[in-house]
């Protein structure tokens, strides 16, 4: 699979008491974003998704300028108009919808019959069969996370952002979800940027590793076979 940059981000952003300065190039591959708590990992995902606008710099996906800072062209494509899937750490499923309705919602704008068939395929793939009619508060945290990932994938995004996507899963299910993600990525042929604190997970999934400290990219490597150090294996933060 080509590793030519599909996503290019040169972004600077400021929050009270915190400054972010990140340069990312990612091809049609899985990138893993590492860093200690408060290093700026989640802020980076939110900037790429369009939930925040960078103070300076730009975000380019498949040659299209999605965001530029105040000093640039003034372009900021809103999140709903970006073909970017975002799986939050806490799933963000709609509580009033069933599992099936949540997944199908991700396919809005697609043919309804095709979308329903794809939703049922994803239900089988992510071991959610039998839960179609349940609402999020009636399933486990791991099941909610799988439903959230299925909803993101059914939209056929051009970029997939994952914030600690497997944190609520037991080890066996986590291994299964890694395989599902790897298969889906190969099928879709899109860049995936994943935040995780799990070194084994990074080694298993990453084609490219980004280490962030204090809001700055300290290391970008094509191989995750690195000693991250105990301080860099903590998760969470800004």
Model pLDDT for residues 19-30, shown as the tens digit of each residue: 999 999 999 999
Q: Report, as an integer, the average pLDDT of 6-32.
A: 92
pLDDT band at 2 (very low <50, low <70, confident <90, very high): very low
Joined together, the tokens standing for residue 34 give 């590492």
Q: Which residues pair with residue 7 across a beta bridge?
A: 26, 61
Per-residue model confidence as pLDDT tens digits over 117-154: 999 999 998 889 999 999 999 998 888 888 998 999 99
Residue 197, pLDDT score: 77
Its domain, for residue 138, covers 84-156
Any domain includes 148: yes
Any domain includes 110: yes
Any domain includes 36: no
Number of structural domains the chain divides into: 1
Q: Which residues pair with residue 25 across a beta bridge?
A: 8
Joined together, the tokens standing for residue 151 give 């909803």
Per-residue model confidence as pLDDT tens digits over 98-123: 999 999 999 988 999 999 999 999 99
Any domain includes 24: no
Any domain includes 42: no
Any domain includes 206: no
Any domain includes 128: yes
């Amino acid at each position: 699979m080509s590793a030519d940059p599909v996503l290019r981000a040169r972004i600077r952003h400021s929050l009270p008491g915190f400054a972010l300065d990140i340069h990312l190039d990612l091809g049609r591959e899985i990138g893993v974003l590492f860093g200690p708590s408060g290093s700026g990992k989640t802020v980076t995902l939110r900037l790429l998704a369009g939930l925040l606008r960078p103070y300076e710099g730009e975000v380019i996906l498949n040659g299209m300028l999605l965001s530029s800072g105040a000093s640039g062209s003034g372009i900021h494509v809103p999140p709903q108009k970006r073909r970017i899937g975002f799986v939050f750490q806490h799933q963000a499923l709609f509580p009033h919808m069933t599992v099936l309705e949540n997944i199908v919602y991700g396919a809005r704008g697609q043919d309804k019959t095709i979308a329903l068939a794809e939703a049922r395929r994803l239900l089988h793939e992510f071991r959610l069969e039998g839960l179609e009619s349940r609402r999020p508060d009636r399933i486990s945290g791991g099941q909610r996370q799988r439903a959230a990932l299925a909803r993101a994938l059914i939209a056929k995004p051009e970029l997939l952002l994952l914030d600690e996507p497997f944190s609520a899963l037991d080890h066996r299910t986590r291994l299964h979800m890694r395989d599902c993600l790897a298969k889906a990525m190969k099928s879709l042929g899109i860049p995936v940027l994943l935040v995780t604190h799990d070194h084994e997970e990074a080694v298993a999934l990453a084609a490219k590793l980004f280490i962030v400290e204090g809001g700055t990219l300290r290391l970008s490597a094509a191989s995750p076979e690195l000693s991250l150090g105990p301080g860099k294996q903590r998760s969470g933060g800004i």
